[in-house]
Structure 1
Amino acid sequence: MVSGSVRKHGLAVAGICVLLLAGTACSDTEAGGGTGGGGQSTPSTSTSQSTSPGASSTPGNSTSPSETPGSASIAIVPAKGASSVQPDKPVTVTTTAGKLTAVTLKDDDGDKVTGSFNAEKTQWTSLPQLKPGATYTVSGSAEGTDGATVPISSTFKTLKASKSLKASVVPLNGETVGVALPVQIFWNNPVKDRAAVEKRLTVKTSVPVDGSWHWVNSKQVNYRPKNYWPAGTKVTVDIGTLGVNAGNNTWGTASRTIAFTIGKSVVTNINVKKHTMAVTINGKLARTIPITAGKDGFTTRSGVKVIMEKFPVKRMDAATVGLKPGDPEYYNIPDVKWAQRVTSSGEFIHGAPWSSGSQGSSNVSHGCVGMSLKDAQWYYNQTLRGDPVIVTGTTRHMEPGNGWTDWNGTWAAYKAGSALS
């Protein structure tokens, strides 16, 4: 009886030892990199083993703790039902579990707001370009780590603006223009925060161009390159002012994009003293034309002018420059041909058959540059709105704003007119 008890007791002890050794062997194998048995062991997904002493914490190792499956938890900023939301703030949608599968942000007109996901698709962020005084709806879906789909739905309202900000632009979309044309944006209301607005303006070019914005006043900002635009350049101007805070509760209510092309290079040099006009096309002198310019009391302005408008036929009435009928200098010509405006005050380049005897020898006009009808027609057919006309030889100079005068002055002074300089 004693011996039988001893045998049973011994077997029990032996069994405990086997279990202990097995536990020790498993622990040693994990600590040593799992090379037991002469090859790499298959990682276990057991929670007890993954938390045992010596378990690897290297990312990607299957022995790390597995994430507990959970449903997607959605957070939206601004909050559901919010009102008076600032239009220049982005909308964000975030999930703390799983990933976003679709997000759409629309206003009450059905217009979508552009947005993007982060790399993990755990957050979606819109552009900060919302309409003032609008209702927005956020919709979409997310998928939790449990595989279940969670719908996204929220609405909010943006604040109402006291005044809107909209842009009118030169040039026209799709226009082909001359190498000196300045981009001009005219605002319907004054801009107080010029820096905020200018940050929303982008110029993209098909070739590298160094350029700058320049505020003419609170209702106009222009852009020109340091040197004339390279011929053939494709230019796109993005006016992303929807939702911008221009100050004084004036908010951008629209964005727009203007694309245009620079034509061939046509540069005109007029020497009033010599009564000549030299036209250079793509770097080569194409024609030198005899001209007449402004006489005493009506001196043609010197400076860099830009062709603003073109008319095959134009009525020219001296009343527009302050001369009245009965004045010996008054004129009213109904059919001036090949007329091209270069100043707001009324200087044109045009055909002038009535002064043919003075062209090339003396100045007899009221400030315009006149030439033969044949030369005027040829010149008209070469030029584009935006071509530069450089006038020299007089002591009367271009006044700022009397036309497109962006090229009169230094480049440093022009850049200083940027709100971001």
Structure 2
Amino acid sequence: MVSGVRKHGLAVAGICVLLLAGTACSDTNGNSNGGQSTPSASTSQSGTPGASTTPGDSTTPSGSNQAASIAVVPAKGATSVQPDKPVTVTSTGGKLTTITLKDDDGDTVDGTFNGDKTQWTSSDLLKPGATYTLSGSAEGTDGATVPVSSSFKTLKASRSLKASIAPLNNDTVGVAYPVQIYWNNPVKDRAAVEKRLSVKTSVPVDGTWHWVSSKQVNYRPKNYWPTGTKVTVNVDTQGVNAGNNTWGTASRTISFTIGKSVVSHVDVKKHVMTVTINGKLARTIPITAGKDGFTTRSGVKVIMEKYTTKRMDAATVGIKPGDPNYYNIPDVKWAQRVTSSGEFLHGAPWSVGSQGSVNVSHGCVGMSLKDAQWYFGQTLIGDPVIVTGTNRTMEPGNGWTDWNTTWAAYKAGSALS
């Protein structure tokens, strides 16, 4: 005979059996089959145009555990992708854990995650005509890892855009040196390119870009560079669309330092040059300048080249042998070029008797060998030479003539002004 307590226990157990027969027993995660998770048979489809997707669990009720679903833009296998468009990887139902994007040279493209790591966006522009491979992983709210894998190709450029930069990396230059960027092909969309150019300085400097032509853009500060300034120029033009299917294929960064301040003033009428170093008068030098018919140009010139010895042949400026003004001197000492057309400051022992009193040169500024050697030792490429006293002015582009333009006009030469 079964006691009353025993009968009551069996009744409760019977009820439990009936309940379990009607509903599957679940673990704490809501998974059936003895705690083993059963993948959903459905596939999530991204609503993003041009996106490739990775299968995930889209049937699990909101708020429950689910597998990560991945969408990649551009789509896997895409071709002719524009290099200036960002690559994005988006996860729903979980978060991204690692994302790596590399080109066929093995170079990695930088990118950033958003705050909850549900999206990664590339921050670098891409190379034209390259194949890119995307890899990584995501983790769903169900704890399962989903691989991320894709590849695509960028469009091929009809013309590439590459930069040559002056000064060179690690140079120490004078206070009037304008940064000069020369392009191998014309730039149609100057604003798009200029947006990718930057100048960083170790002290605050007010400066601007100025387009000399479609193949050259310069940068100068409002006033001369402060002595000792560290300057970094970043030409971040890889992937930029310069117009006419011309695309940037490389980026460059160079750094240089501004040396001591050496500012020279040449007074052609008074036949004298004063040299100021770091704001203090260092020397007054008797000079001779261009005679009639060979007038020395007035304006702000910049030392472009330096030669301890330089051959000077009048044929290079159109004066032929047999002309009374022809000369060919093989060993001119301490020569410093200030115009493209051939004006120099140099030692001129043959005109010492005229220095300080008469202008007898063919346009150059001549001085004694002793003064020329001293002066050569003080200057850097990029130092300014300010010439006054003549009615012949500097032509734009005849050397580094940036400082002969007013600041307002120079700023107006920026594509972003």
Of stretches 376-385 and 138-147 in structure 1, the one that deviates more from structure 2 is: 138-147
Residue 292 of structure 1: which of 280, 288, 292 is its match? 288
Offset of residue 315 of structure 1: 0.7
Q: Deviations over 1:77-110 (max 9, x none)?
A: 1111110000111111111122211111111111
Q: In the alignment, is residue 360 of structure 1 matched against residue 356 of structure 2?
A: yes
Offset of residue 358 of structure 1: 0.7
Structure 2 vs 1, CA of residues 135 and 334 (structure 1 numbering), >3 Å: closer, same or farther?
same
Of stretches 373-382 and 121-130 in structure 1, the one that deviates more from structure 2 is: 121-130
Of stretches 98-107 and 361-370 in structure 1, the one that deviates more from structure 2 is: 98-107
Offset of residue 127 of structure 1: 2.3
> Which residue in 2 is equivalent to 1:104?
100
CA distance in 2, matches of 1:302, 1:100: 65
Q: Deviations over 1:338-379 (max 9, x none)?
A: 111000000001111111111111110000001111111111
| TM-score w.r.t. length of structure 2 | 0.85
Give the letter for the 1:289 counterpart: I
Residue 95 of structure 1: which of 91, 102, 109 is its match? 91
> Which residue in 1 is equivalent to 2:344?
348
Corresponding residue pairs, total: 360
Q: In the alignment, is residue 261 of structure 1 matched against residue 257 of structure 2?
A: yes
Q: In the alignment, is residue 148 of structure 1 matched against residue 144 of structure 2?
A: yes
Q: Deviations over 1:139-179 (max 9, x none)?
A: 11112212222111100000010000000011001100111
CA contact (8 A) 2:234 2:254 kept: yes
Structure 2: runs of 5 or more not aligned:
1-27, 31-60
> Which residue in 1 is equivalent to 2:378?
382
> Superposition pairs for residues 198-347 of structure 1, below 5 Å?
198-347=194-343
CA contact (8 A) 1:344 1:403 kept: yes
CA distance in 2, matches of 1:143, 1:172: 48
Give the letter for the 2:218 counterpart: N
CA distance in 2, matches of 1:170, 1:404: 12
Give the letter for the 1:280 counterpart: T
CA distance in 1, matches of 2:370, 2:244: 55
CA distance in 2, matches of 1:252, 1:370: 45
> Which residue in 1 is equivalent to 2:5?
none
Of stretches 185-194 and 144-153 in structure 1, the one that deviates more from structure 2 is: 144-153
CA contact (8 A) 2:202 2:229 kept: yes
CA distance in 2, matches of 1:419, 1:377: 43
> Which residue in 2 is equivalent to 1:34?
none
Give the letter for the 1:164 counterpart: S
CA contact (8 A) 1:133 1:157 kept: yes
Secondary structure of the corresponding residue to residue 189 of structure 1: coil
Residue 86 of structure 1: which of 82, 85, 92 is its match? 82
Structure 2 vs 1, CA of residues 258 and 84 (structure 1 numbering), >3 Å: closer, same or farther?
same
Secondary structure of the corresponding residue to residue 279 of structure 1: strand
Offset of residue 66 of structure 1: 9.0
Offset of residue 69 of structure 1: 1.5
Secondary structure of the corresponding residue to residue 103 of structure 1: strand
Residue 117 of structure 1: which of 106, 113, 117 is its match? 113
Secondary structure of the corresponding residue to residue 143 of structure 2: coil
| TM-score w.r.t. length of structure 1 | 0.84
CA contact (8 A) 1:89 1:128 kept: no
Structure 2 vs 1, CA of residues 323 and 143 (structure 1 numbering), >3 Å: closer, same or farther?
same
> Which residue in 2 is equivalent to 1:8?
none
CA distance in 2, matches of 1:393, 1:368: 14
CA distance in 1, matches of 2:29, 2:147: 34
> Superposition pairs for residues 47-58 of structure 1, below 5 Å?
none
> Which residue in 2 is equivalent to 1:26?
none
Moved segments of 4+, more than 6 Å: none
Give the letter for the 1:219 counterpart: K
Offset of residue 196 of structure 1: 0.3
Q: CA RMSD in A?
A: 1.5
Q: In the alignment, is residue 180 of structure 1 matched against residue 176 of structure 2?
A: yes
> Which residue in 1 is equivalent to 2:17?
none
Identity %: 83
Q: In the alignment, is residue 400 of structure 1 matched against residue 400 of structure 2?
A: no
Secondary structure of the corresponding residue to residue 407 of structure 1: helix
Offset of residue 221 of structure 1: 0.3
Structure 1: runs of 5 or more not aligned:
1-44, 48-64
Offset of residue 128 of structure 1: 4.5
